[in-house]
């Protein structure tokens, strides 16, 4: 395949699903979903500076990541995208770049726990914090960082570097108006995370970015990392249904 992807669980299948991880996230977390998606060949995007690409410099702008990804990686269809949080924005921008390049588009875009990118964004300068402060701030805001990260200086430093790179991308990102994508969209979130407040307006606004509406918005019990607690119903029902694949629930 390419250094940009890890996975391929299940071998060749009628549909490929490319997953884009949350800020500082490991693609391995999403590769494991392959067991719950029969009929899907699952890959996760591996960013520079992470995992097998640990020796490569981090990329800290959306343009740099998307340009390199589209130029170097082949998205061979039929395929779909799933993104969680930061990964939702990256998946959307990748789809836009593929359209601009005249490439085949994903059959479906599933976004999770992310506000629609055209909405005003509040930048908090998290990427400028020192390692401890950055990790503490992210943990207080979203949770999801294992306790052992804070107990091992080497792991803490690596986690902070990954988070800082991704938050630099997020906090320097500016949405550029473009025509809506001709790609069906599904929006997911946890019912107790702030995004689900105000009637889910910031989630529903994703519907402005596709010509293939209406866009369903589904919420699950939990916060920003609801998908870890709700993996069975999330992967085996909602994502599979959005992709039009058959599902066998244990």
* Catalytic annotation present for 85: yes
- 84, 108, 127, 224: the catalytic one is 224
3-state helix/strand/coil string of the chain = CCCCEEEEECCCCCEEEEEECCCCCCCHHHHHHHHHCCCEEEEEECCCCCHHHCCCCCCCCHHHHHHHHHHHCCCCCCEEEEEECHHHHHHHHHHHHHHHCCCCCCCCEEEECCCCCCCCCCCCCHHHCCHHHHHHHHHHHHCCCCHHHHHCHHHHHHHHHHHHHHHHHHHCCCCCCCCCECCCEEEEEECCCHHHCHHHHHHHHHHHHECCCCCCEEEECCCCCHHHHCHHHHHHHHHHHHHCCCCCCC
- 23, 84, 85, 88: the catalytic one is 85
* Catalytic annotation present for 108: no
Positions annotated as catalytic residues are 85, 224
């Amino acid at each position: 395949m390419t250094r940009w992807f890890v996975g391929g669980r299940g071998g060749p299948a009628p549909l490929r699903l490319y997953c884009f991880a949350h800020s500082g996230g490991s693609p391995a977390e999403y590769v494991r979903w392959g067991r719950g998606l029969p009929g899907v060949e699952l890959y996760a995007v591996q960013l520079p500076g992470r995992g097998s690409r640990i020796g490569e410099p981090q990329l800290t702008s959306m343009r740099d990541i998307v340009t390199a990804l589209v130029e170097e990686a082949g998205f061979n269809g039929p395929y779909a995208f799933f993104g969680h949080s930061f990964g939702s924005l990256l998946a959307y921008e990748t789809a836009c770049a593929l359209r601009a390049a005249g490439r085949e588009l994903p059959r479906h875009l599933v976004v999770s726990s992310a506000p629609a990118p055209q909405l005003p964004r509040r930048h908090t300068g998290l990427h400028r914090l020192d390692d401890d402060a950055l990790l503490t701030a992210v943990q207080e805001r979203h949770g999801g960082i294992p306790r052992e990260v804070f107990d091992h200086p080497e792991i803490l430093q690596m986690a902070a570097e990954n988070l800082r790179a991704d938050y630099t991308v997020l906090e320097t990102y500016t949405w550029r108006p473009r025509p809506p994508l001709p790609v069906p969209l599904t929006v997911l979130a946890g019912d107790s995370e702030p995004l689900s407040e105000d009637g889910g307006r910031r989630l529903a606004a994703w519907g402005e970015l596709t010509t293939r509406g209406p866009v369903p918005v589904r919420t699950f019990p939990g916060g920003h990392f609801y998908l870890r607690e709700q993996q069975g119903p999330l992967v085996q029902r909602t994502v599979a249904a959005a992709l039009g694949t058959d599902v066998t629930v244990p």
